[in-house]
Every structure is written in C-alpha cells, then in structure tokens.
Amino acid sequence: MIIVYELNNQLEEFEELKIEENVPLFELLDSNKILLFVDAHNQKVWEWQGRNTSTRMKFINTQLVPSIRDKHDIAYAITTVDEGEETVAFKIMIGLP
C-alpha cells in the first residue's frame, strides 16, 4: 500500500491525500507540487519534487520529510526524485510504463 502526501506551501505542512482505488499514482504528479509516496512494502519514502517548485518549498520539504517518515517507521529510507530524473524503481512504483 502506498500513502501519498502533498506539501501545502501555505500551511508549511504535508497533507495526506485521499486517493480513489482506480487512480494511477502517476496521475498525481504535477510540476508545481512536492509529493511524498510512503511505500511500506519496500520501506521507502519517495520525495518527488516537480520542476516548478520553489527553493523555499524544497527547504520546507527537507525539514518536514523526516517527521512523516518517522510517523510510519524510522527505518524507512528517504529518496529524493526530481521531475524528469525519475528512476526505474520510482516509475514502477507509481505505475508508469
């Protein structure tokens, strides 16, 4: 199961997204957003940053990600993924071909 969070830039916090069962995760990607994908199966937090996000958003993100990770399991690895530089493992996780 994948849990997804979106950075709310105004509130400077992450909000958990409610995702419909049939919605592919790759449809959530938006160049103006920072999203966290918590992958319990692989014990990983994927930190995806859209190309239009600001330095301020990325700074806030860096400060908040460990607390989201710790909420699930402190042993989870955190991996940052920039838009356009997605790894094969990330693409598979979000359902991209």
CATH numeric code, 2-94:
3.40.20.10
The structure's pTM equals: 0.93
pLDDT category of residue 75 using cuts at 50, 70 and 90: very high
The pLDDT value recorded for residue 49 is 98
d(CA 43, CA 3): 12
Query: And the tokens for 63?
Result: 């400060």
For the chain, give the mean pLDDT.
95
Can you tell me the distance from the alpha carbon of 54 to that of 1, in angstroms, rounded to the nearest whole number? Answer: 29
